[in-house]
Amino acid sequence: MILFAPKEIDSREARAAITPVTAKRLVDKGITIIVEKGIGELSNYPDKEYLESGAQLTTDRTKALSESDIIFRVRKPSIDEIKITKEGCIHLSFLDPFNDSDLLELMASQGITSISLEMIPRTTLAQKMDALSSQANISGYTSVIYAAEKLDKVLPMMMTPAGTISPAKFFIIGIGVAGLQAIATAKRLGARVTAFDVRQEALEQAESLGAKALRIELGENANEEGQVYAKELTPEQLDKQREAQAKVCEDSDVVITTAKVFGRRSPILLKTDVVDRMKHGSIVVDLAAETGGNVEGTVLDEEFVTNNGVRIIGLSNFESMASHHASQVFSANLGSFIEHFWNEEEKKINLDLGDEILSGCVLTNNKKIVHEKFID
Ligand code: NAD
């Protein structure tokens, strides 16, 4: 079996889909690993380390795509590259399946078995393969570091002979994996943190990290305990939420929004009228920018300062800001996937689509779209 990992082509992307450590794990299984020369240039995994791990380097991306049985990527592939990918190849990457049906159709017609990392089930068994979580954890951290760097204030309280400096105030909206890491990071740096999520369980987790939970009575609670993903709120519930949050936003130095609803556009939680009332110099990081944004006026991949001095950050490469560690855990997720389905006797991957993990994340197989959510 040949596994190929190309260099990412998106200019925002600094991660590598495979690191030398994962390459070694898979070489030890008997897989031939080929990586594109320079794959780890931006995340500080030199070519030399890949060679030492037993992987081979190539500069011929087209040949490698057309000959490999497995492909690892971070971001979704281009249409042109799918056309030259070997039939029967198993392709693992983020695929943005809810927004890119053309790509899915092409992958199906080309006979590619596509695994969407967004669709890996959130079960204990699949946790080690869950790239959404491993990457959200990194982006939660880097979003706080980035905001702290842009803020013209210190984060912790400082008692000095010249007077006391109050701690910076952070408000984290959406307490999933990214939100929890953002809370933990801001707390470690000494900020005062308030947090909100529609899920009760998440509010309790925020409190256990030392944040103040904002509790909003949203009427009939659409989100039952233990539910992994939040359900979409009704327009009336969203209005209530925005109203209850407004004062906290106005009082905060940094607002980080991470609120997503699986498979749907992210809800607008911060409207322009509230941004207009926020403090001069305050920062808003919209971590949901790629799925439409939680903040009215966010521009994807840009940051700008509003007329009243609020910096709105809609960057989508927070994982890439810590690309070394983001690649480490991303690549470990993909390595675990291969190991889980590896048949040691036959030295190949066994993909039984009836398996509980595979039935969740295999989108195309045998020239067809096979995932029920994406069949027309
Ligand atoms: P996500 O990225 O889909 O969304 C981020 C957060 O936004 C969620 O906590 C969600 O409840 C919240 N949200 C949605 N609408 C909102 C609104 N209107 N206002 C405020 N918040 C809103 O979430 P995620 O990071 O993928 O994590 C979701 C949950 O899944 C978490 O509880 C996480 O711990 C859990 N999880 C479980 C497993 C597992 O069991 N193996 C793996 C990963 C994550």
At 153 the pLDDT is: 98
Closest CA to 258 of 196, 201, 200, 193: 196
Among protein residues, the one with the nearest Cα to ligand 1's atom 9 is 176
The number of C-alpha atoms within 13 Å of 289 and in the hemisphere containing its C-beta is: 21
- Residues 13-52 have pLDDT tens digits of 999 999 999 999 999 999 999 999 999 999 999 999 999 9
Residues 6+ apart with CB under 8 A from 285: 143, 146, 147, 254, 255, 256, 257, 313
232 Cα nearest atom in ligand 1: 15
Work out the pLDDT band at 225, boundaries 50, 70, 90. Answer: low
DSSP string, 51-76: HHHT-EEES-HHHHHHH-SEEE-SSP
The strand ranges marked E within 50-173 are 56-58, 70-72, 90-93, 113-116, 158-160, 163-165, 169-173
Residue 255 backbone zone (phi > 0: left; psi -120 to 50: alpha; other: beta): beta
Q: What sign for the dihedral angle of Cα 259, 261, 266, 272? A: negative
**In ligand 1, which atom is closest to the CA atom of 177?**
25
Is it the case that residue 125 has pLDDT exceeding 80? Answer: yes
Residue 226 binned pLDDT confidence (cut-offs 50, 70, 90): low
Determine whether the shortest distance from the Cβ of 286 to ligand 1 is under 6 A.
no
d(CA 190, CA 158): 10
Task: Provide the pLDDT confidence category of residue 263 given band limits of 50, 70 and 90.
Answer: confident
* pLDDT score of 9 more than 60: yes
Instruction: Kindly report the average pLDDT of the chain as a whole number.
Output: 95
Q: Is 127 marked active-site?
A: yes
Taking the C-alpha atoms of residue 28 and residue 85, their distance in angstroms, rounded to an integer, is: 25
Question: Which residue has the CA at smallest separation from atom 27 of ligand 1?
Answer: 176
Distance 228 CA to ligand 1 centre (A): 6
122 is catalytic: yes
- Does residue 222 carry a pLDDT above 60? no
pLDDT-derived band at 224 (thresholds 50, 70, 90) equals low
Of 304, 274, 268, the C-alpha closest to 289 is 268
**pLDDT above 70: percentage of residues in the chain:** 98
Q: What is the pLDDT of residues 329-346, one digit of tens each?
A: 999 999 999 999 999 999
Residues present in the chain in total = 376
Residue from 127, 188, 265, 359 carrying the catalytic annotation = 127
Counting beta carbons within 10 angstroms of the beta carbon of residue 61, is it exposed (0 to 12), middle (13 to 18) or buried (19 or more)? middle
Q: Which residues of 125-158 are buried (b: 16+ CB within 10 A; e: fewer)?
A: ebeebbbbbbbbbbbbbbbbbbbbeebebebeee
Block residue for tokens 């521009």? 299
Q: Which tens digit of pLDDT belongs to each residue from 67-119?
A: 999 999 999 999 999 999 999 999 999 999 999 999 999 999 999 999 999 99
Residue whose Cα lies nearest atom 31 of ligand 1: it is 176
CB distance 176 to ligand 1 below 6 Å = yes
Instruction: Return the best residue to mutate from 124, 208, 260, 290 for the ligand 1 pocket (most ligand atoms within 8 A of CB).
Output: 260
Nearest to 351 by CA among 36, 1, 41, 102: 1
Domains, the chain, ordered by start: 2-119+323-369 (3.40.50.720), 137-316 (3.40.50.720)
Region 52-61 average pLDDT: 98
For 68, the token pair is: 């490999």
> Ligand 1 pocket, 267 CB below 6 A?
yes
pLDDT at 367 over 70: yes
Strands 2-5 and 32-36: parallel
Q: Is 372 exposed, middle or buried (0-12, 13-18, 19+ CB in 10 A)?
A: exposed
Nearest CA to ligand 1 atom 10: 230
> Is 122 touching ligand 1 by the criterion CB < 6 Å?
yes
Output the pLDDT for position 294.
Answer: 97
The model's confidence at residue 355, banded by pLDDT at 50, 70 and 90, is very high
Give the whole-number percent of the chain exceeding pLDDT 90.
93
Separation of 101 CA from ligand 1 center, angstroms? 24
